[in-house]
Structure 1
C-alpha cells in the first residue's frame, strides 16, 4: 500500500461522505470554499478546489469538512 490511500466507502468522521463527493471547508483560510474529496489518510483529507479558473489540491483535517447537499 502507498502512504496515501484512496478511501472507497463512507469515511469515519465524515458521515456519509465518499471519495468524489462534494464538500465544503468549515474553517481556515479556505473557509466556505467547495471542492471534491479525492483522498483520505488518517485524520487528513485531500480536496480538489477550482477557483478563478485554477484547480488546486489542499489537505484538511477531516473535521473541517462537511457534505454539500
Structure 2
C-alpha cells in the first residue's frame, strides 16, 4: 500500500518590513560565521571547547617523567 506524501516546499516566511531588520539579521549572521570559524579551529586543535559556548586556548600538556628522571 503506497502512501501519498506531500513533498512541496513550505512557503518562505514573510519577512518584516523596516530598517532595523537587516542590521539585526546581520549581527546573527556574523555570530554564526564566527562560531563556525571557532569550531573549525577546535577541530584543528588550535582551540578547546570545554562546554558548548566558550572557546579557550588548549592547555599545554604536562611534561611526562622520562625513564632517566624516575631513577
Tell me the TM-score normalized by structure 1: 0.22
Which one has the bigger strand percentage?
1
Which one has the bigger helix percentage?
2
Higher Cα radius of gyration: 2
Flag the structure with more relative contact order, 1 or 2, with Cα contacts below 8 A and sequence separation at least 6: 1
